[in-house]
Amino acid sequence: MSFSSFPQAPLSHALTPYGWDEAWEAEFAPYAEQGLLPGRVVRVDRGQCDVMTADGLVRADTAFVTPHDPLRVICTGDWAAVEAAGNPRYVKAYLPRRTAFVRSTSSQRSEGQILAANVDHAIIAVSLAVELDLGRIERFLALAWESGAQPLVVLTKADLVPDPVTLGHLVQDVETTAPGVQVLTVSSVTGEGTDVLAAVVGDGTSVLLGISGAGKSTLANALLGAEVMEVQEARAVDGKGRHTTTTRNLLALPGGGVLIDTPGLRGVGLWDAQAGVGQVFSEIEEYAARCRFHDCAHEAEPGCAVLAAVDSGELPERRLESYRKLLRENQRIVAKTDARLRAEIRRDWRLKSAVGRSNYAAKRGGRA
């Protein structure tokens, strides 16, 4: 099937199950004129990627789209412009992203790492087999909101909490932690909640996130209707699993929609996510709008509506402490990033100055 047939049936060709639509087609038009093929990146590893095209799955080299900025490297979920032929075939470009899920790396270089692109739903898997870590959920939510995707918290292994009252309290705790976010309980053993989850992910692209042992691969298999993703048991001592999934994989779901499964994340560092933090703690921001001073730090200032809400019991103190912690962390990341950029500018200026001095010396030598 050639790209020339796309305009006649743009919503019914082979890439439609992977999220292709008229808007993507319009974006791709300049590349189509160059004879390139559209495709969605389903997996990236070691300078190459697998791309689903109308001609099937192709392996392509990413040498032409490997910039120094780690946030601009091609990633799972991107829409790519691929050479129609060649050995090897190359990705020549990728389309501007609608959304991008980014976290900070564990390195000291203040770099961001893009985990998935063009995502509509961010599914945060949290296991009920261990004690809830509400702070970690807030971190995931902040990154999800910042990405532009709609978050959804899925509490897995609900069959391990047979008491409905206890389960209700756990759900309520998470709902308080995730204002404006749907919280769903699921069980791969009983099938509870999987139909609701399938309906949510059936529209658009979803990325599955969580730590090892959260049940992501089991969820993926339930949505795929087959044992596609390998599953390993979590350790009984702490509920943590081994990294069954080692790469980010994009999969078309039989009931519609696209799922990106990701490896378990050891760290969930923020990356310039101030807006996302504000969304997670929207009730605190609402209280803050009533403070006497517009630059209130909510520490000990008179007329602080946030502290008043804590004193009255309307706002849990844990929420305020978590809010402060994530804001401080985000500010540190931004400050480090700015410092790194300033250092790069200084290096560039020194290089240009050296070139200028060399050229000046050469001109003087020529005149002599």
pLDDT-based confidence at residue 82 (cuts at 50, 70, 90): very high
Q: Which two tokens stand for residue 150?
A: 């709609």
Q: What is the pLDDT of residues 193-221, one digit of tens each?
A: 999 999 999 989 999 998 888 888 888 88
Which position has the higher pLDDT, 287 or 232?
A: 287
Q: How confident is the model at residue 338 (pLDDT cuts 50, 70, 90)?
A: low
Are 141 and 154 spatial neighbours (Cβ–Cβ below 8 Å)? Answer: no
Q: What is the mean pLDDT of residues 344-360?
A: 55
Sheet of 121-127: strand order equals 182-185, 150-156, 121-127, 205-209, 258-261, 249-252
> And the tokens for 157?
């292994």
Amino acid identity, residue 203?
A: D
CA distance 139 to 269: 8
265-298 per-position pLDDT tens digit: 665 666 667 788 888 999 999 999 999 998 888 8
Least confident of 101-115, 141-155, 182-196, 213-227: 101-115
Characterize the bridge pairing of strands 121-127 and 112-117: unpaired
Instruction: State the average pLDDT over residues 28-51.
Output: 93
pLDDT range class, residue 189, cuts 50, 70, 90: confident
CA proximity to 261, closest of 200, 201, 220: 220
Top mean pLDDT of 27-41, 227-241, 319-333 is at 27-41
Distance between CA atoms of residues 324 and 298, nearest Å: 9
Peptide bond before residue 88 is cis, with ω within 30 degrees of 0: yes
Q: Please give the Cα distance from 360 to 352 (Å, whole number).
A: 12
Phi-psi region of 316 (alpha: psi -120 to 50; beta: other; left: phi over 0): beta
Please report how the helices 194-201 and 216-224 are oriented relative to each other, as an axis angle in degrees rounded to 10.
Answer: 80
- Max CA pair span of the chain: 93
pLDDT of residue 10: 45
Q: What's the whole-model pTM score?
A: 0.79
pLDDT above 90 covers what percent of the chain? 50
CA angle 46, 230, 138 (to 5 degrees): 80
Residues 6+ apart with CB under 8 A from 267: 103, 106
Tell me the DSSP string of 172-189. Answer: HHHHHHSTT-EEEE--TT
**What is the separation of C-alpha 179 from the centre of its chain, rounded to a whole number of angstroms?**
19
Q: What is the pLDDT of residue 57?
A: 93
Q: Among candidates 97, 216, 198, which has minimal Cα distance to 147?
A: 97
Say whether pLDDT at 106 is over 60. Answer: no
